[in-house]
């Protein structure tokens, strides 16, 4: 409480305050009550009586002073009136300035100007008066009331004697009016919004009929008239809800996904304001209040400090090489800068010889930095249909980091391979014939022991290999670690870690985004290689992606097996066209203990066919399909599989060695009946004159055609 002297001084600074309040309209008095209460932090009377409020205001202002700031205070805080003055250029046109202030109670005649005072000076001086503040509040109230009336007019929807399309249109207008800032979005052609689950994690929730009805109930008032003419409030009609959901091009913001940490765009713009980001079509939903500190122009010292901090995170992990350590830092930067990359990113494999080495902890650290929480782990599905369902669900939820944990056996999935090289992913919705298209903004991580890659997965991954060289690495004593509880340390240092990553990115951008020169190329990931590889190389992180060839030879088991298989094939048949049935007969001959040929195709048979061999129909079919998918592929040892034509309605194949043979189109056969030794007599192009339709021989019915 102020003492008596202070009260007297304050009352002298507020001349005629009682008269002013007695003449003020009711809306102004109530506004002043709220203002005085908020500015001076004093309780207001709980009454609706206007005279009591006027009396309280006089006493409060006499005691604490008026809640009116000076002109300098308003300028320092960028009061809206000053921003509007600058935007309109009113200081350069005093009479336009005067016209602008007339609605705020200023009317100047020449006789009203003080000696030597200009119109501009009078206008600026008026902004410091209480009268201006009074009129300003009144004008703001008038504008807000007008906006409220407009919103109310659009929010009141009368359904009696109206067509369904009109009710739907009014419902959409009400939704658009209320959707500022955006909270309802369109994703995959469906209405959705971002919510937090019981653990505080942001997820994208599709709005079904009940969800849309819930939203409309809160953005509009629906009315109908009874037979007696009475107005009755009702819920949003189901027909209008369903009709709204069927609008093909809803004019709502599109939502591509969720991010949970600040990021830096290539324009050097920091994304650090929670909410919808129109340029990225992403929703920024951080966990807690993140405060990043990024230098405007990072120095060499800033870059060095940032790299030291990132190295400190992973200092306790037994990486097998500098390349694996560099790839780990690159994976962490990828998770933070994923929105700026704007294209496909390869999957990072956290590989080790045995359990307990720390792959899951690294995955958690990457997720903690990017989202503020530990990674949600999923196991690798067994069947391809399960992969498709899991991928579509993950992308729809908008998760930023996806971890496939404890991969066993060979990682092989056409759906996963597809999503890793696609900016968007399209698949069928479970239980419906509807196709859904989702943007892929996730960072994919795989962990496992001695991970093997099948199909086309090898070129879609990069490798982090650890080896503790211990039988029980999980029993290392705590004193061996710089950070025994690494997850807790990362949470406490998350602001610093994010600042370090964004500092490196800004330094690379300000340096002109230099292209990495020492990195191996990665097809389909040029954008990721350019940005993350550029940041790593510019920051002095050596050997990023330096173990790609080693990964191809270690983790990709299918390629070496097919190399050996094609090499054995070539030694047996050379450049002779062969049917799948011929291969099956050769393998059956090799099962005979008396078979004496040194080159045995059975020993080079890829593992994928070991179970089906011996079952002629299934083996021939499986092998034929496998040959078709590898047609034209050149393997590292130079061998390639080519289609040589059709004999007796069966496809024939030939193995060539790079640089040794020319192209083949069609062959004539020396011994078409026996099939034991096939020699090409002449190589001719296919023409109407020499093409013929052979008859189907016995034993060829099971060949892949």
Q: What is the pLDDT of residues 271-325, one digit of tens each?
A: 888 999 988 899 999 887 888 999 999 999 999 999 999 999 999 999 999 999 9
Of the listed ranges 313-317, 416-420, 427-431, the least confidently predicted one is 427-431
pLDDT of 607 over the 60 cut: yes
The predicted pLDDT at position 183 comes to 92
536 or 137: which leads in pLDDT: 536
**Average pLDDT value for residue range 615-621:** 73
Q: Which two tokens stand for residue 629?
A: 């998918």
The predicted pLDDT at position 189 comes to 83
Domains and CATH numbers, the chain: 4-141 (no CATH), 159-245 (no CATH), 300-471+480-554 (3.40.50.300), 558-683 (no CATH)
pLDDT of 508 over the 90 cut: yes
122 or 530: which leads in pLDDT: 530
Tokens 């989702």 identify what position?
438
The predicted pLDDT at position 615 comes to 64
**What does the alpha-carbon distance between residue 461 and residue 393 come to, in Å, rounded to a whole number?**
22
Q: At 152, is the pLDDT very low, low, confident or very high (cuts 50, 70, 90)?
A: low
The predicted pLDDT at position 547 comes to 92
Query: DSSP character for 654?
Result: E
Query: DSSP character for 449?
Result: E
**What does the alpha-carbon distance between residue 498 and residue 475 come to, in Å, rounded to a whole number?**
31
Distances (CA, A) of 204 to 257, 404, 542, 585, 649: 8, 21, 39, 56, 53
φ and ψ at 682, to 5 degrees? -155, 150
Query: DSSP character for 356?
Result: T
Start-to-end C-alpha separation, the chain: 97
303 or 479: which leads in pLDDT: 303
The predicted pLDDT at position 686 comes to 30
Please state the length of the chain.
705
Q: What is the mean pLDDT of the chain?
A: 81
Q: Which two tokens stand for residue 478?
A: 């705590």
pLDDT of 509 over the 50 cut: yes
The DSSP H or E segment spanning 560 is helix 558-573
Q: At 430, is the pLDDT very low, low, confident or very high (cuts 50, 70, 90)?
A: low
Of the listed ranges 67-81, 326-340, 344-358, 439-453, the least confidently predicted one is 67-81
The predicted pLDDT at position 433 comes to 61
Of 633, 679, 678, the residue nearest 656 (C-alpha): 633
The predicted pLDDT at position 3 comes to 39
Q: At 500, is the pLDDT very low, low, confident or very high (cuts 50, 70, 90)?
A: very high
Of the listed ranges 7-11, 18-22, 209-213, 434-438, the least confidently predicted one is 7-11
318 or 38: which leads in pLDDT: 318
The predicted pLDDT at position 543 comes to 93
The predicted pLDDT at position 617 comes to 64
587 CB contacts (<8 Å, ≥6 apart)? 601, 602, 605, 613
The predicted pLDDT at position 207 comes to 93
Strands (E), 127-216: 156-158, 184-187, 190-196, 202-206
The DSSP H or E segment spanning 58 is helix 50-64
pLDDT of 10 over the 80 cut: no
382 or 61: which leads in pLDDT: 382
Give residue-wise pLDDT tens across range 553-599. Answer: 887 778 888 888 888 888 888 888 888 888 888 888 888 887 877 78
pLDDT winner (highest mean) among 44-58, 292-306, 432-446: 292-306
φ and ψ at 268, to 5 degrees? 70, 20
β-strands 461-465, 221-225: how paired? unpaired
Regarding pTM above 0.75, the answer is no
Measured from the Cβ of residue 372, the count of other Cβ atoms closer than 10 Å reads 18
Residue 404 near residue 380 (C-beta atoms within 8 A) = yes
705 CB contacts (<8 Å, ≥6 apart)? 646, 649, 650, 651
pLDDT winner (highest mean) among 342-356, 493-507, 635-649: 493-507
**What does the alpha-carbon distance between residue 647 and residue 141 come to, in Å, rounded to a whole number?**
89
């Amino acid at each position: 409480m102020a003492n008596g002297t202070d009260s007297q001084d304050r009352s002298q600074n507020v001349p005629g305050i009682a008269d002013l309040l007695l003449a003020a309209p009711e809306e102004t008095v109530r506004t002043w009550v709220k203002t005085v209460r908020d500015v001076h932090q004093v309780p207001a009377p709980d009454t609706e009586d206007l005279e009591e409020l006027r009396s309280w205001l006089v006493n409060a202002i006499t005691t604490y002073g008026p809640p009116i700031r000076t002109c300098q205070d308003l300028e320092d805080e960028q009061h809206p009136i000053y921003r509007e003055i600058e935007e309109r250029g009113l200081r350069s046109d005093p009479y336009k300035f005067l016209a602008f202030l007339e609605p705020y109670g200023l009317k100047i005649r020449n006789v009203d100007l003080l000696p030597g005072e200009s119109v501009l000076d009078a206008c600026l001086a008026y902004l410091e008066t209480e009268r201006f503040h009074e009129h300003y509040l009144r004008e703001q109230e008038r504008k807000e009331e007008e906006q409220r009336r407009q919103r109310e007019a659009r929010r009141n929807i009368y359904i009696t004697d109206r067509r369904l399309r009109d009710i739907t249109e009014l419902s959409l207008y009400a939704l658009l009016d209320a959707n500022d800032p955006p909270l309802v979005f369109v994703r995959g052609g469906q209405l959705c919004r971002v919510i937090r689950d019981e653990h505080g994690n942001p997820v994208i929730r599709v709005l079904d009929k009940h969800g849309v009805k819930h939203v409309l109930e809160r953005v509009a008032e629906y009315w109908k008239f009874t037979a007696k003419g009475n107005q009755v409030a009702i819920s949003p009609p189901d027909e209008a809800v369903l009709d709204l959901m069927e609008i093909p091009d809803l004019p709502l913001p599109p939502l591509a996904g969720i991010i949970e940490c600040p990021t830096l765009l290539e324009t050097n713009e920091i994304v650090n304001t929670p909410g919808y980001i129109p340029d990225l079509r992403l929703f920024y939903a951080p966990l807690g209040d993140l405060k990043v500190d990024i230098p405007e122009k990072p120095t060499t010292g800033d870059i060095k400090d940032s790299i030291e901090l990132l190295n400190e995170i992973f200092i306790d992990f037994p990486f097998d090489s500098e390349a694996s350590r560099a790839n780990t830092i690159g994976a962490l930067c990828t998770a933070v800068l994923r929105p700026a990359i704007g294209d496909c990113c390869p999957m990072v494999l956290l590989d080790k010889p045995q359990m307990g080495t720390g792959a899951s902890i690294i995955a958690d650290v990457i997720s903690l930095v990017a989202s503020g929480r530990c990674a949600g782990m999923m196991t690798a599905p067994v069947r391809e249909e399960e992969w498709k369902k899991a991928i579509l669900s993950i992308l729809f939820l908008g998760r930023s980091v996806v971890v496939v944990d404890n991969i066993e056996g060979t990682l092989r999935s056409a759906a996963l391979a597809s999503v890793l090289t696609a900016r968007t992913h399209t698949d069928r919705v479970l239980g419906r014939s509807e196709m859904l298209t989702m943007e892929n903004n996730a960072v994919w991580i795989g962990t496992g022991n001695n991970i093997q890659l099948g199909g086309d997965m090898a070129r879609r991954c990069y490798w982090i290999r650890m080896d503790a060289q211990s039988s029980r690495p999980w029993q290392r004593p705590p004193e061996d670690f710089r950070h025994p509880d690494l997850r807790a340390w990362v949470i406490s240092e998350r602001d610093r870690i994010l600042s370090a990553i964004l500092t490196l990115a800004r330094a690379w951008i300000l340096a002109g985004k230099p292209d990495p020169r020492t990195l191996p190329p990665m097809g389909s990931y040029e954008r990721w290689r350019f940005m993350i590889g550029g940041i790593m190389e510019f920051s002095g992180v050596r050997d990023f992606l330096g173990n790609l060839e080693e990964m191809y030879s270690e983790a990709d088991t299918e390629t070496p097996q097919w190399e050996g298989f094609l090499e054995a094939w070539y030694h047996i048949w050379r450049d002779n066209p062969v049917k799948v049935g011929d291969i099956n007969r050769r393998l059956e001959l090799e099962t005979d203990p008396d078979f004496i040929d040194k080159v045995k195709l059975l020993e080079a048979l890829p593992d994928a066919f070991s179970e089906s061999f011996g079952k002629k129909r299934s083996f021939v079919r499986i092998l034929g399909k496998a040959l078709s998918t590898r047609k034209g592929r050149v393997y590292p040892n130079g061998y390639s599989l080519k289609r040589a034509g059709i004999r007796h309605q069966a496809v024939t194949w030939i193995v060539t060695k790079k640089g040794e043979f020319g192209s083949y189109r069609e062959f004539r056969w020396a011994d078409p009946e026996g099939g034991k030794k096939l020699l090409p007599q002449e190589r001719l192009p296919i023409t109407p004159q020499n093409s013929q339709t052979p008859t189907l021989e016995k034993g060829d019915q099971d060949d892949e055609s």
